[in-house]
Structure 1
Amino acid sequence: MEHKKISMKASILWNSWGSIFYLGCQWLLTVLVVRLAGVEESGILSLAMSVSNIWYSLAVYGMRNYQVSDVTDKYKNGTYIFSRWITGFLSLAGCVIYTAVISYSLEQKLCILIYFLYKLTEAYFDIYAGIYQKEWRMDFIGKSMTARGVLTLGSFTVVLGLTGNMVLTLAVMAATCAAFVILYDVRTAGKLTDTSLVWDRRAVWNLLKECSPLVVYTLLSTAIGTIPRIIMERYLGSYQLGIYGSVATPTLIIQMGATYIFNPFVTLFGERYQQRDRKGFGKALRSCCLAVAAIAAAGLVGGRLLGHWGLNLLYGQEVAAHEELLLPLIFCTVLTAFAWLLCGVLTAVREFRGLVWANVWAVICSAAASLLLERSMGMQGASLALALATVVEIAVLWFYLFRKMRKNFQ
């Protein structure tokens, strides 16, 4: 199907706007839950987010960067869509089993499961976002994420404010966003290109098999940041996790802001690598690194100057009293953003072994350091453990990337 494409600059702007707006709405959820329901409920929401993120990694299967860098159209759009139904079902089954086995309260269990249903709407949208990106129509990504951000924030605020019931609030939020993805994204993508389901089991199996290292990497990558929080809830309790999660959430804007800028470059990395264009590949990589560095500098300066004021404004003095957590958390988000950039590049050049090994070592470091440091340093130990793990990840990623570039660009 023929359609008008937009420029890379416009794509970056639309993608960045929509993604940052959506992330901002997600962040405001953690602000509102403290204001409307208290720190204890904030800890339950933070736990639901942390656990759901692990299973969300299985649902998306690490496929987005592979999909948008599939410049030869090895697999049809319908194959990607069908595969998402399979991975979504498997991840939901895993989340149900995990929640049933672990000794959480009934409210915690229900919140985890319902919040994960909400995350599945994101996973389903993600496959259509990949279609938008390949067609260079990322304006639709921005529009969809803006609308879903409004729906998420609006439904959460109204229902929690009226009922005070977290379970009902999350259920309404999930249903609202699911309806929007079906009514808007499925229809819009279908007007751009062929999105009919492909019931070719062999093609779907081959796709899932080829991307299997990516889902391993994605699960491991998510676990790097989730492990310190799960250990914190076990050792320090929901209250401390609520405080930590509240301080941490604003810092994600820095991390995700950098991600949304370099994500559109993944397709470009794949094209330049296939063309053996060393100069173009290097220029794109330098541009992305500089963008991450600039956002990092702005975030650290802003956190230093406005940290206490911002936390007090958003959460009140109860959370602002822990402002010492802010700068280490900002530093962690910067490191994570840089690691994600390198992971995207390695995916584009199909260096899957390096992705897996880098994250294996990082997970080991995260678990060991969290167990050791959180007992002796409390909440601050979680940030230090995450920073150490991410530095290990970055070092291994660089090693594999340089080796791959040397072979391809000889």
Structure 2
Amino acid sequence: MALSLLDRLRARRAARAAARAVGKPQYRTVPASSVPPATPARTPSRPHRTGPIARLVNRWWNRLLQSVYEGSLSEQEAQYEEGSTTRDYLWNTVGTSVWGFTFPLLTVVATQLAGVEGAGMFSMAFVVGTLLMIASNYGIRNYQVSDIEEANSFSSYQINRWLTGIAALAVGALYCALRDYDASMTTICAGVFVYKVLDGVADVYEGRLQQADKLYLAGISQALRSVAIVAAFSVLLFVTRSLEIASAGMAIAAAATFVLVTVPLALLETEKSRPASMKEVARLFTQGFPLFCALFMFNLIESMPKFVMEGSIAYENQLYFNALYFPAQGILLATGFIYKPQLVRLASIWSNPRKRRRFDLIIGAVVGVVVIISIVCGIFLGSIGIPLMSFMYGVDFEQFRPLAYCMVAAGGVTAVIDFLYAIITVLRRQSDVIRLYLIAFAASVALPLALVNLFGLAGAVASYLAVMALLLCLLVWQYAQIRKEITRRADPFA
């Protein structure tokens, strides 16, 4: 019986493969009659090729295992370059963007899969978790990355951060007990609190990478952690429809990326730190206390309308307030993209008295950029932003259009506040702003209590904008006083 064309082709391939194996000519004619028709030869399979991501993961895993086997992460040779400004900006933008949009994405998922009330409960837990993250940070990040002479060892920074992280978790547990939350809300809070405190502790390792002029690696670490927790939360909530299980999974994902990526990356890619000193740790608590007070109070001031709403109006208003705030948060993040990668360079510019004029020009330029970003955000929100929010959340946000514009204005004000505070930290005058935050905190307690009870959600937004405007005026005045004092010291006859 004659062989088919497919059989003959298979026979020729088999013959060529056999010829190559024994070193004979590759193209030899094989009579069709000599090939058994019932056993067509098989073409040798090609080796499986892995994708670039799989290869990267495999290389990282092998490097990690080898370092653990050798007994030290910090004594290994670094493999990634430093001083890449373009890469720093790119990955810092990616990392900060993904991190900044984590909360909005989680609330959208929670709204769609658990309802408005459940999303409001989750939002409240996230607000408290963010305050715990700020407490864990202890305001040290800007201080750490501008410590260009390494007056304090990285080991001391680590001990300081772990102590503040443990204290923050303890405060979170106490808060849940004092609020007398039920088992459901307590479980949600526990998952969110663990994630946010780990976020705070991870910041010291990412700060070390920035200090070593490898900010892009910090951005990669931040992005991976944020993507992991969003994926874990979304998948678990979709499968189980349980906010408690999804929150617990989010905490586990944060812990896994922290242990497998953030900590090893910082230790492998930076110089080995000198041993920790308890004197340095104590000094960090002392030096960082004004930073902690200012940042914690600032975030408490921001959150005060939400705390007042929790005791006065339904949980769903937490969702509305946070959804309206997210465009304002975008302004804050965009401003951070611009100035945070330059903090080390700003510290260097300030250290040279002949460049102080350039320092002032940079400040003016950043404030101008914030104004432009705020205007663009307002235009976007007024055109397609509000309909887009309504689509994502499944809630009609057209009714909140005036409040949305107020939030954009508040976002611009908040971005300038954040930038001015970072500048004052570079000047090492952070203790000068404590009394200003106390004044703003007093206003943040009085105004929401009055306005929320009178006007509900609208009162919460109005009080937030008013308090932020007050704090900005106080900070501008304080910065002007600091600069005047520094100029007088440099030139007593000025």
**TM tier, smaller:** over 0.9
Residue 159 of structure 1: aligned partner: 236
Residue 484 of structure 2: aligned partner: 406
* Pair 1:365–1:398, CA change in 2 (3 A): same
Residue from 88, 95, 108 that aligns with 2:165: 88
318-327 or 77-86: bigger deviation: 318-327
Alignment map for 1:7-406 (pairs within 5 Å): 7-194=84-271, 198-276=275-353, 277-406=355-484
Shift of 1:54: 1.9
> Does the CA-based 8 Å contact 1:65-1:348 persist in structure 2?
yes
Instruction: Provide Cα deviations, 1:22-74, integer angstroms capped at 9, x if missing partner.
Output: 22233111111100110011111111011112222211000011111112211
Distance 1:334 1:318 in 2: 25
Residue 62 of structure 2: aligned partner: none
* Pair 1:126–1:403, CA change in 2 (3 A): same
* Pair 1:195–1:316, CA change in 2 (3 A): farther
Instruction: Provide Cα deviations, 1:61-110, integer angstroms capped at 9, x if missing partner.
Output: 00011111112211011111111110001111111112111133322222
Distance 1:183 1:308 in 2: 39
> Does the CA-based 8 Å contact 2:191-2:249 persist in structure 1?
no
Shift of 1:320: 4.9
> Does the CA-based 8 Å contact 2:386-2:397 persist in structure 1?
no
Distance 1:343 1:113 in 2: 31
**In the alignment, residue 348 of structure 1 is paired with which amino acid?**
V
**In the alignment, residue 164 of structure 2 is paired with which amino acid?**
T
Distance 2:362 2:221 in 1: 27
> Does the CA-based 8 Å contact 1:77-1:194 persist in structure 2?
no
Partner secondary structure for residue 101 of structure 2? helix
Distance 2:95 2:391 in 1: 24
Shift of 1:21: 2.2
> Does the CA-based 8 Å contact 1:351-1:400 persist in structure 2?
no
Distance 1:240 1:403 in 2: 40
Tell me the TM-score normalised to structure 1 length: 0.95
281-290 or 90-99: bigger deviation: 281-290
> Does the CA-based 8 Å contact 1:5-1:136 persist in structure 2?
yes
282-291 or 230-239: bigger deviation: 282-291
Shift of 1:317: 3.4
Q: Which structure is higher in helix share? A: 1
Partner secondary structure for residue 263 of structure 1? helix
**Tell me, which stretches of 5 or more residues in structure 1 are unaligned?**
none
- Identity over the aligned pairs, expressed in percent? 23
* Pair 1:354–1:394, CA change in 2 (3 A): farther
> Does the CA-based 8 Å contact 1:265-1:284 persist in structure 2?
no
The structure 1 segments of at least 4 consecutive aligned residues displaced by more than 4 Å after TM superposition are 318-321
* Pair 1:349–1:39, CA change in 2 (3 A): same
> Does the CA-based 8 Å contact 1:5-1:135 persist in structure 2?
yes
Cα RMSD (Å) of the superposition? Answer: 1.9
Tell me the TM-score normalised to structure 2 length: 0.79
Pair member with larger Rg: 2
Distance 1:168 1:315 in 2: 22
Shift of 1:186: 1.4
**In the alignment, residue 16 of structure 1 is paired with which amino acid?**
T
Distance 1:215 1:198 in 2: 25
Distance 1:173 1:154 in 2: 8
> Does the CA-based 8 Å contact 1:17-1:142 persist in structure 2?
yes
Shift of 1:115: 0.5
Distance 2:265 2:132 in 1: 27
Shift of 1:220: 0.4
> Does the CA-based 8 Å contact 2:410-2:464 persist in structure 1?
yes
